[in-house]
Amino acid sequence: MSKFPLAADAALIEEALGRCLHEPGARQAELYRAMRYSLLDGGKRLRPALLLEFCRLSGGTAEQALPFACAIEMVHTYSLIHDDLPCMDDAATRRGRASNHKVFGEAMALLAGDGLLTEAFRVMLSPEAVQAAGTARAAEAALLLAEACGPAGMVAGQAVDIRAEGRPLPLSELEQMDAWKTGALIQAAAAMGCAVGGASPELRETAKEYAAALGLAFQIEDDLLDAIGTEEAVGKPLHSDAEQEKCTYVTLLGQDKAREEVLRLTERAVRALEPYGDAARPLMELARYLAGRNT
Amino acid sequence: MSKFPLAADAALIEEALGRCLHEPGARQAELYRAMRYSLLDGGKRLRPALLLEFCRLSGGTAEQALPFACAIEMVHTYSLIHDDLPCMDDAATRRGRASNHKVFGEAMALLAGDGLLTEAFRVMLSPEAVQAAGTARAAEAALLLAEACGPAGMVAGQAVDIRAEGRPLPLSELEQMDAWKTGALIQAAAAMGCAVGGASPELRETAKEYAAALGLAFQIEDDLLDAIGTEEAVGKPLHSDAEQEKCTYVTLLGQDKAREEVLRLTERAVRALEPYGDAARPLMELARYLAGRNT
């Protein structure tokens, strides 16, 4: 597997994430430990890196983008903690380590998730974020995140998912569910970057097109990895979809068609960015990298 | 028990809450049903009514305040849903009805709580809210709510609470826990009303003083109700504190001293508002009403 093409962004984000959760006092120590355990667990930082890149492409700076990048990673992390809870997927591990509730207990994991979701909004509306990005852009970016991760977006996808297990879904329903569960946050990352950087309407359209294709390719690739990857490379127990009788792109399309679809979507994402030339190269490389994760 | 003195505000809020959760499509129907089940369950609307009153006292209008009033009630409702989950208080009923997870299952209740917390921020940053209150005021109010209900506020209180059960707390620790668990959101209601209405620094100080006293009196009164009220009047199973061996103001101070403390705090809240004369009368009546809930 080649190197993550946005590694420099990811390093900036890692450093900002380490700074943004400052424990206010000893009595909150365990709660903050639980939040940091999952937030600082070596994720790829895909969503915040996307946000940074689109902010730059819009004429903004990484400094302006970082609070919003931290916020979207906090939201992603909260969703994983809650997803792993016994009443949801009941997952014992995540990214090769014990899941949050296995370490801190169910109640504290629930609260760590709630805390991260709330902190995301605090960070985006903090005096530093508002001063760097401007109040109107900060408020717009926060609204985009709320829309994407709420009950008309990510949470809707999870609600459909818990009712779908064990029953076959038609392709159109699977696509809708994944658009909510995974796509919404990836699209929000691109749109938030555009909002913070003050993108033109044309760039906003391009970002939407790129992120829609990338998000779907990412999900199909995830299903392929679950079906045919090695546990070592993927960093989590595999074949969980089959065990839970989940309907996936691989079960619906077969491996060959699923792979074709990933390549087609990746090409679409790359083509959308062509008008932006060299400045868009990192985002093009990202799309190609994500499509090649299991090679 | 006398009539809730902010009943007119509560009616406005009830109507706004009924409108603010519009289900985007049939596939999200159950999730929205679960959110509405707890949001529209006949609560007193104390926090949003406080927000409305302080917005008016600051020179703002109810129309400007309503999106923020709905948001704080959504946050309060989410905290109750998550608090009632089996891994937290494991409560079967709430306000005389089956608790959310008893009706919709644990997973859906978890998501309904997540959805309500996220919707709170969407509503405060929606184009309508921003247009009515102004971007800067809307962003300030949303920040105040995020600070109050996050891991340095309400969630911290819950985290301390789950570790405190069955072990005696000194009074200072109990006060800190309740300041986070209950006080933070009541203080946020007053502060958000001031932010939306554009209050003077003096009024903001007064609001802080009033809400701090009111919040603590409210919590002590709650403990008294749990110890000596009737189930019919309170609308939830009583003596739960004693059963769970929780440390409360009644176990620490005894009933007489606890009652004295409620009266002392209520007088402090009322006195803080005296400079504002008749315009502050509803808030004074509210403080007296809350102190007399078990008479």
What integer pLDDT is reported at residue B86 of this predicted model? 97
- Residues constituting chain A: 295
Q: Nearest CB to A31: which of B32, B88, B155?
A: B155
pLDDT-derived band of residue A25, with 50, 70 and 90 as boundaries?
confident
Q: Enumerate residues 218 to 257 of chain B having a beta carbon within 8 A of any beta carbon in chain A.
A: none
Indicate yes or no: CB of A122 within 8 angstroms of CB of B143. Answer: yes
User: What are the phi and psi torsion angles at B40 (to 5°)?
Assistant: -110, 50
Return the residue matching tokens 């505000």: B9
- Which residue would you say has higher pLDDT here, A125 or A238? A125
Quick one: which of A124, A125, A117 has its CA closest to A75?
Answer: A117
What integer pLDDT is reported at residue A292 of this predicted model? 84
Q: Which domains does chain B have, with CATH numbers?
A: 7-291 (1.10.600.10)
Q: What is the mean pLDDT of residues B80-88?
A: 97
Mean pLDDT of chain B: 92
What integer pLDDT is reported at residue A126 of this predicted model? 98
Indicate yes or no: CB of B108 within 8 angstroms of CB of A160. Answer: no
A200 by Cβ neighbours in 10 Å (0-12 / 13-18 / 19+) ranks as exposed
Q: What is the DSSP letter of B3?
A: P
pLDDT-derived band of residue B2, with 50, 70 and 90 as boundaries?
confident
What integer pLDDT is reported at residue B24 of this predicted model? 81
Contact assessment for residue A238 and residue A231, using Cβ atoms and an 8 Å cutoff: yes
Q: Which residues contact A148 (CB under 8 A, 6 or more apart)?
A: A154, A184, A185, A187, A188, A191
Indicate yes or no: CB of A150 within 8 angstroms of CB of B118. Answer: yes
pLDDT digit string (tens) for A119-129? 999 999 999 99
Strands in chain A per DSSP E: 93-94, 97-98
pLDDT digit string (tens) for A157-185? 999 999 887 777 888 888 899 999 999 99
What integer pLDDT is reported at residue A227 of this predicted model? 87
Q: What is the mean pLDDT of residues B109-127?
A: 98
Indicate yes or no: CB of B88 within 8 angstroms of CB of A108. Answer: no
Q: Enumerate residues 153 to 192 of chain A having a beta carbon within 8 A of any beta carbon in chain B.
A: 155-156, 158-160, 162-163, 173, 176
Q: What is the mean pLDDT of residues A271-280?
A: 97
Contact assessment for residue B60 and residue B134, using Cβ atoms and an 8 Å cutoff: no
pLDDT-derived band of residue A133, with 50, 70 and 90 as boundaries?
very high
What integer pLDDT is reported at residue A295 of this predicted model? 47
Helix (H) or strand (E) holding A35: helix A29-39
Pick from A157-171, B79-93, B109-123, B135-149: least confident: A157-171
Mean pLDDT of chain A: 92
Pick from B8-22, B71-85, B180-194, B238-252: least confident: B238-252
Long-range contacts, B268-273 (Cβ 8 Å, 24+): B268/B209, B268/B213, B269/B209, B269/B210, B269/B213, B269/B214, B269/B217, B272/B206, B272/B209, B272/B210, B272/B213, B273/B206, B273/B210
Q: Which amino acid is at A168?
A: P
Q: Nearest CB to B147: which of A30, A122, A158?
A: A122
- Which residue would you say has higher pLDDT here, B59 or A2? B59
- Residues constituting chain B: 295
pLDDT-derived band of residue B295, with 50, 70 and 90 as boundaries?
very low
What integer pLDDT is reported at residue B42 of this predicted model? 83
pLDDT digit string (tens) for B25-43? 888 999 999 999 999 988 8
Pick from A58-62, A97-101, A177-181: least confident: A177-181
Q: What is the pTM of this model?
A: 0.95
Return the residue matching tokens 């247009």: B131
pLDDT digit string (tens) for B222-257? 899 888 876 655 656 666 666 666 778 998 999 999
Strands A93-94 and A97-98: antiparallel
Contact assessment for residue A180 and residue A153, using Cβ atoms and an 8 Å cutoff: yes
DSSP structure string for A5-34: TTHHHHHHHHHHHHHH----SGGGHHHHHH
